[in-house]
Every structure is written in C-alpha cells, then in structure tokens.
Amino acid sequence: MYTSQTPSSSFTSLKRARDEKRLPPLPKLTSELILQVYTHISLRRLSDKGPEEYGDNERLIELGKAVLDALITYVLFNKRPMLKVAEIRYHRNKSLSDENIQEWVTTYGMRQRLRCHPDLFPTLNTSKEARSIFYSYVGGIYVEHGLDTVREWITELLEEHEGFGESSKPAPRQRLETPPPKKVKSEEISPPTIFIGTQPPRSPPPPKFTHSPPPHQIPPMFPNPLAPAQPSLPFLPLFNQTAAQRRVTVDYPAEFIGPPHAGRWTVRCIVNGIQKGIGSGSNKQVAKEEAARQAYYAMGWT
C-alpha cells in the first residue's frame, strides 16, 4: 500500500488556505467505502472478473461528476428570474472551475489521504487529478448519505464564492415619478365693450380651467404567496426580490459555532443596518432561510 506524501511547504499552504477562507464541514464517510474513495486507479489489481467491490475510485469518479453537474444545474434552474440556457452553462462552468476544485481539494486535505503508486506523486497537483479526487468523494457521499447531504454541502460551498448566479438577481425596480401638476390658467378676459342702443352687453365667458392629468399609479404589490400555512416554501428569494424593489439594503452576517462535525450556523438578516430576523440550523442555508422568513413578516410585507 502506498500513500501520497506532501512536503512541509504544502502543509503550510494548506493551513494558510484554511485560515483565509472557512469552508463548510466536510461530510464524513464512516463505512469501508472511504477506502474506495481514496484508492487511485494506479493501484488496481488486475482481474478477469472486473473491478473489485472495494477496489479503486474510477466508478465513484463517474458517479460523482454526474451528481455534481445535475445538482448545480438544478440549483441554477430554480433561480428567479429564470436564467437562460447560456447563463446556466456559464455559471455551472464557473462554479466548477479548476481554481475552485483545486481550492476545495487543498483546503479539505484530500490529496494527503489518497493512496496511489509512488510514480504518480508529481501529477497529484494537476487539475485533472484534483477533479478526480473531488468527484470521487462526492460519489462516495451520495452512495452513503444520499442526495440531500450532497445538496446541503455543495450549496454551502457555492455560497462561499461570490458571484454564483449573480446575473439572476432581479434588477432594482425603477420608481415612477409623478409629474408636477400644471398651473391652472384662465383665459384672458377682454375689456368690457360699450354698446349703443338697447342690446345689453354680453357677459364674458367663464374662465376655463385645465385639470392636471392623474398621477401614474404604482402597481400594487402582489399578495404574498407564502402564507403562514405554507412554512416549507422558500422565503429567501421572495424577500430578496421585495427588498430590491423597495430599494433597501440587506446583509446576512453568518457565524459558525461548535466543532466542524456538530456545529451550528447562526445567520442574521440586517435591513438598512437594523436586525429584522435571525435563524439557526445545521447548515447556513437553513439558517438564512429562517432569518429571511422572520424579516419578511417583521417588515410587514405580507
């Protein structure tokens, strides 16, 4: 059995990367599947019967890549307003860039656990090998824990990278300015004319007034589709869209407390510098959703 080795400088770079950016806790693999995840194809035992049950990670790499592509495509598909096909492809490729994959593999220390042939040590730092390691781990998590665990983990990973799907954010709604009312003008009254004879002078016509046009009416807000009887529906997209329409600034400061495997996230919803909601949960997305729900009702937008 051969295990990859990394110079001390790599450990220094890994520690620096962890200090600079905190990634969500890595889901744990508790079964013997972890041996397959971290076994490189270079250690495959040749057999006429095909791959062993706990052999190398080639099959998990293929599974993990398909799961990751489908998951990120689904997240982008559900963004509102809807993204075009070209935008979905752009943001998916940007999220799964070589730079991001390399950062995740390095920060989680996945290379140090990989078993491979010593001749392949120099190639482990390439983008291709980084993708293989990450895809293999995603495939292992999917097999052992299911899609929900993969979705929570990857969603939090993507949130750490600013700009994920930012083109899908609704543009600020332009306010319709009411035109100033026109000044009321009366027609000029001619000076009285003196008639000679029995014909009495006619009275001048009454002045005509021009009325200012009615101001533009701002369309009323649509009724809130998320009634309290539907607590499972997402509030976060609705809250962010309403906040953009009303031109208020919203921040979501987050804090992680506890050990990496059993900690909890606390997210506050700050509207124009004032806290309007707070949520907590085992992952940041759940806590952020709860904070947005509280803030939505606190702002009286129902």
DSSP per residue, 43-80: GPPP-TT-S-TT--SHHHHHHHHHHHHHHHHHHHHT-S
Asked whether residue 196 is domain-assigned, the answer is: no
Cα–Cα distances in angstroms (integers) from residue 245 to residues 25, 224, 242, 248, 289, in the given order = 35, 14, 5, 8, 19
Residues 49 and 148 in one domain: yes
CATH number, domain containing residue 251: 3.30.160.20
Say yes or no: 154 and 271 in one domain.
no
Burial of 290 (0-12, 13-18, 19+ CB in 10 A): buried
Q: Which residues contact 112 (CB under 8 A, 6 or more apart)?
A: 4, 6
Q: Is residue 202 domain-resident?
A: no
Q: How far from each other are the two terminal CA atoms of the chain, in whole angstroms? A: 62
For residue 45, pLDDT beyond 60: yes
CATH of the domain at 70: 1.10.1520.10
Please indicate, yes or no, whether residues 22 and 156 belong to a single structural domain of this protein: yes
The token pair that represents 155 in the structure block = 């969603």
Of 45-54, 217-226, 245-254, the poorest mean pLDDT is in 217-226
User: Residue 206: its pLDDT value, please?
Assistant: 64
Assigned domain for 110 exists: yes
Q: Are both 154 and 25 inside the same structural domain?
A: yes
Q: Closest Cα to residue 218, out of 267, 174, 263? A: 174
Residues 16 and 151 in one domain: yes
92 domain-assigned: yes
SS3 call for 270:
strand
Mark whether 147 and 24 lie in a shared domain.
yes
Question: Can you tell me the mean pLDDT for 267-283?
Answer: 92
The reply to whether 172 falls in a domain is no
Domain that holds residue 272: 236-298
Within this chain, do residues 159 and 20 fall inside the same structural domain, yes or no?
A: yes
End position of a domain, from candidates 167, 199, 215 = 167
Say if residue 62's pLDDT is above 90.
yes
Q: Domain for residue 230, yes or no?
A: no
Within this chain, do residues 74 and 162 fall inside the same structural domain, yes or no? yes
Instruction: Tell me what the mean pLDDT of segment 139-160 comes to.
Output: 89
* pLDDT, tens digit, 9 for 90 and up, residues 181-203: 666 555 555 555 555 555 555 66
The domain total for the chain is: 2
My answer on whether 157 and 254 are in the same domain is: no
Q: Are residues 129 and 257 in the same domain?
A: no
Is the same domain home to 116 and 245?
Answer: no
Identify whether residues 153 and 249 lie together within a single domain. Answer: no
- Name the amino acid, one letter, at 135: Y
Alpha helices (H) along the chain: 8-20, 33-37, 58-77, 85-95, 98-107, 127-145, 147-159, 236-245, 284-298
Overall average pLDDT of the 41-47 stretch:
70
Tell me the pTM: 0.49
